């Protein structure tokens, strides 16, 4: 049986980056990863510009910071300077406006007073060359590479791309994820369960987890415990980058998933991982499609997704650090839990001025999805001593911080 680390390595071995696509820089591109280097097409700023409202002047004309100068013009943002600045002269200037020829500093308007006869009184510290102005090309020069392949597109990257004239970019696209829940006992959430039935919670949960990972999920529905029903949905799901099946992967009479996957050409790479919850998890591939068979218990499905599926999505979409992401946290209270294999226990993780702290939440096992409502992480508990004392440092899977 593989360890979780070995299983993760095996998954990432087959998780190949998706071919780049050129997309418009709209809301759908947020969070995607650049698949090209991007260079500046112009200097930025494209001219020496004022950073303040005030007066542009020659710093040499105010050696002690005080004096009156003749105002020879005014420059608004978006206007080109028309009048150069000579000795003992100044130009009124607005934030963002181009600096006039001859000026090398800006005095903020609060340190000035207008006088009669187109003059201005300056009372300030001696100005320094370059004061309150931004030289041409200070932010970037034409031809500079401003964004590299592998950069995640955040709002600031959108701004920089717009600044260099880009309305589209080559990115690694969002992974398409097909989701199939299996079992005769399942009904859709809006239905009233009959005898022996339960609502399908795994489908919506896995859809939401896929969305949180920036993938594009498609819920294909419920596969019944019949070969024809399961075969049809699996065949459709294999068209996606990732196929996730929930349930039907254990060793029961109606656990049909492994056999149907084999029939449809899926090569199995592992089936069972040393973990709790989630031990019966399956992973295989057909071509470039990654196939995960997750246990039917909801917490098992959720944990397996975070440990195995989410990193695969990240790798497909070009993330250099595909995860999962761990932190070291201090246990806030004594806790006893006996386990025979590494256990991912629901917990509440919080950041404090002195570092991360963690507290296990009340939970009775892999069927207890409600118990996770108080959790935002999973504390890793190793086999051996079941007693964990307050102050112990635990490895914690930071689910919501990914």
Could you read off the pLDDT of 56-69 as tens digits, one per residue?
999 999 999 999 99
Could you read off the pLDDT of 279-325 as tens digits, one per residue?
999 999 999 999 999 999 999 999 999 999 999 999 999 998 888 99
Position 196 scores a pLDDT of: 94
Could you read off the pLDDT of 146-164 as tens digits, one per residue?
999 999 999 999 999 999 9
Position 253 scores a pLDDT of: 54
Q: Is the distance from CB of 269 to CB of 237 less than 8 angstroms? A: no
Q: Is the distance from CB of 347 to CB of 320 less than 8 angstroms? A: no
The percent of residues in the chain predicted with pLDDT above 70, rounded, is: 99
Q: What is the mean pLDDT of residues 93-99?
A: 97
Residue 224 CA to residue 245 CA, distance in Å, equals 12
Domains and CATH numbers, the chain: 4-17+174-316 (3.40.980.10), 21-44+139-171 (3.90.105.10), 49-134 (2.170.190.11), 326-397 (2.40.340.10)
Closest of 258, 264, 259, 260 to residue 287, by C-alpha = 264
Averaged pLDDT score across all residues of the chain? 95
Whole-angstrom CA distances from 126 to 59, 107, 160, 261, 361 are 8, 10, 35, 78, 63
Cα angle 269, 275, 277 (rounded to 5 degrees) comes to 110
Residue 251 binned pLDDT confidence (cut-offs 50, 70, 90): low
Written as one string, the DSSP assignment of 299-313 is: HHHHHHIIIIIHHHH
pTM for the structure as a whole = 0.88
Q: Is the pLDDT of residue 254 over 80?
A: no
């Amino acid at each position: 049986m593989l360890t979780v680390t070995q299983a993760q390595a095996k998954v990432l071995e087959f998780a190949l980056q998706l071919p780049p696509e050129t997309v418009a820089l709209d809301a759908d591109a947020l969070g995607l990863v650049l698949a090209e280097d991007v260079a500046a097409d112009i200097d930025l700023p494209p001219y020496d510009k004022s950073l303040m409202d005030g007066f542009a002047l020659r710093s040499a004309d105010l050696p002690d910071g005080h004096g009156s100068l003749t105002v020879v013009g005014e420059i608004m943002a978006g206007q080109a300077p028309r009048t150069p600045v000579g000795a003992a002269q100044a130009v009124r200037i607005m934030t963002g406006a181009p600096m006039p020829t001859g000026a090398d500093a800006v005095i903020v308007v609060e340190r000035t007073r207008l006088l009669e006869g187109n003059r201005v009184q300056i009372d300030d510290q001696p100005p320094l060359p370059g004061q309150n102005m931004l030289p041409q090309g200070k932010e970037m020069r034409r031809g500079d590479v401003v964004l590299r392949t592998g950069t995640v597109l955040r709002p600031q990257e959108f701004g920089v791309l717009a600044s260099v004239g880009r309305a589209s970019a080559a990115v690694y696209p969002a992974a398409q994820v097909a989701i199939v829940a299996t079992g005769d006992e399942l009904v859709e959430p809006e239905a009233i369960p009959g005898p022996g039935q339960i609502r399908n919670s795994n489908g919506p949960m896995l859809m939401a987890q896929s969305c949180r990972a920036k993938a594009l999920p498609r819920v294909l529905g419920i596969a019944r415990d019949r070969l024809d029903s399961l075969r049809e949905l699996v065949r459709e799901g294999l068209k996606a980058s990732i196929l996730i099946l929930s349930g039907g992967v254990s060793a029961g009479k109606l656990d049909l998933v492994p056999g149907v996957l084999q029939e449809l050409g899926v090569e199995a790479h592992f089936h069972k991982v040393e973990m709790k919850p989630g031990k019966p998890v399956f992973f295989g591939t057909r071509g470039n499609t990654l196939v995960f068979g997750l246990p039917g218990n909801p917490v098992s499905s959720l944990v397996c997704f975070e440990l195995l599926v989410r990193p695969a999505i990240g790798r497909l979409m070009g993330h250099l650090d595909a995860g999962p992401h761990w932190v070291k946290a201090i246990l806030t209270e004594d806790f006893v839990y006996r386990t025979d294999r590494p256990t991912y226990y629901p917990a509440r993780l919080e950041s404090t001025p002195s570092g991360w702290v963690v507290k296990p939440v009340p939970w009775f096992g892999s069927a207890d999805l409600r118990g996770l409502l108080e959790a935002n992480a999973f504390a890793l508990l190793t086999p051996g001593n079941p007693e964990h004392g307050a102050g112990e440092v635990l490895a914690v899977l930071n689910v919501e911080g990914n």
